[in-house]
């Protein structure tokens, strides 16, 4: 699993690639919590190069989403493949966090 | 294959699954679903099934035919049927949504059939994923 963070136009992008397994989720947790605490108000988690995500990865995203909610920030997830989408949906994450097709749609949804 | 009760062993099992799925040309959907299910199940077993600090072996068998993929996981840990746990909370709002409890929920949701039996002092878990679903 690789994780890269960048910023553009007041939006923070966290790009994950590979497999978010129970073994690699600690790395994702640390980075998502760091970003959520950095004061960003708009966070896009780009999972378009993520093969799959285990529950420990879901927990990391949920913790970041709770933190952002507490600081009146917003979070979007974009680019989920069918497996990742199914995992988000069956975990009820789609009712908590808006899933977008790509980064453009995610960024546009903040302005809406 | 046999794994030690060490979380680092899960990657070795997922690599074996990759080889298996490549050899039998299994669809990516099935490969990914089984990878998540095995990851969840093995991390649960390794983290919670053993009450001592000894080394234990966990056996994982994989089989596939034209109808289904099947994985059998055996451990000699404490008797535990993960599938009797109550369903996870997937509806409350973001402030009150619990952080945990999703792992076994995912295994159930991603597999077509799951079962647990206790046989000769071992937990035997069978995961089935049907082809073309």
| Helix axis angle, A25-36 to A55-70, nearest 10° | 10
Contact B105 A52 (CB under 8 A): no
Claim: this prediction has a pTM higher than 0.90:
yes
Distance CA A68, CA B79 (A): 40
Residue A33: both structure tokens together:
């919590």
Whether residue B10 lies within 8 A of chain A, CB to CB, comes out as yes
Residues of B with Cβ-Cβ distance to A19 under 8 angstroms: 14, 35
Contact B36 A87 (CB under 8 A): yes
Distance CA B35, CA B85 (A): 21
Residues of A with Cβ-Cβ distance to B105 under 8 angstroms: 55, 90-91
Separation in Å, CA of B119 to nearest CA in chain A: 28
- Mapped onto helix, strand or coil, the DSSP state of residue B68 is strand
Predicted local distance difference test score (pLDDT) of residue B99: 80
Separation in Å, CA of A68 to nearest CA in chain B: 11
Q: Note down pLDDT in tens along chain B; length 133 residues.
A: 999 999 999 999 999 999 999 999 999 999 999 999 999 999 999 999 999 999 999 999 999 999 999 999 999 999 999 999 888 899 999 888 888 789 999 999 999 999 999 999 999 999 999 997 5
Distance CA A100, CA A77 (A): 6
Give the chain B residue whose CA is nearest to the CA of A96: B94
Facing A92 at nearest CB: one of B11, B14, B91: B91
What are the pLDDT digits (tens) for A8-44?
999 999 999 999 999 899 999 999 999 999 999 999 9
Separation in Å, CA of B125 to nearest CA in chain A: 19
Residue A4: both structure tokens together:
């890269």
What are the pLDDT digits (tens) for A75-92?
999 999 999 999 999 999
Q: In Å, how far are A30, B3, B54 from B46, measured between CA atoms?
A: 23, 10, 12
Residue-wise burial string across B53-85, b where 16 or more C-beta atoms lie within 10 A, e elsewhere:
eeebebebebebeeebbbbebbbebeebebeee
Distance CA B99, CA A112 (A): 29
SS (H, E, C) chain B: CEEECCCCHHHHHHHHHHHHHHHCCCCHHHHHHHHHHHHHHHHHHHHHCCCCCCCCEEEEEEEECCCEEEEEEEECCCCCCHHHCCCCCCCCCCCCCCCCCCHHHHHHHHCCEEEEEEECCEEEEEEEEECCC
Distance CA B43, CA A108 (A): 38
């Amino acid at each position: 699993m690789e994780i890269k963070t960048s910023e553009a136009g007041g939006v923070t992008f966290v790009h994950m690639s590979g497999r978010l397994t129970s073994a690699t989720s600690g790395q994702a947790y640390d980075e998502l919590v760091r970003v959520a605490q950095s004061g960003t108000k708009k966070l896009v988690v780009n999972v378009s190069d993520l093969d799959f995500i285990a529950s420990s990865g879901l927990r990391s995203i949920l913790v970041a989403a709770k933190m952002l909610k507490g600081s009146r920030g917003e979070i979007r997830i974009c680019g989920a493949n069918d497996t990742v989408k199914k995992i988000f949906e069956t975990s009820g994450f789609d009712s908590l966090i808006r899933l977008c097709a790509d980064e453009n749609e995610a960024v546009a949804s903040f302005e809406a | 294959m046999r794994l030690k009760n060490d979380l680092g062993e899960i990657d070795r099992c997922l690599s074996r699954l990759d080889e298996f799925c490549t050899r039998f040309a299994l669809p990516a959907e099935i490969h990914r679903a089984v990878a998540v299910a095995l990851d969840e199940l093995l991390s649960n077993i390794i983290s919670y099934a053993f009450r001592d600090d000894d080394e234990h072996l966990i056996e994982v068998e994989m089989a596939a035919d034209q109808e289904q993929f099947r994985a059998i996981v055996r451990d000699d840990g404490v008797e535990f049927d993960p599938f009797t746990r109550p369903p996870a909370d997937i509806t409350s709002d973001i402030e009150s949504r619990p952080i945990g409890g999703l792992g076994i929920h995912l295994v159930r949701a991603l597999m077509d059939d799951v079962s647990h039996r206790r046989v000769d002092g071992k937990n035997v878990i069978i995961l089935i994923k049907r082809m073309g679903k």
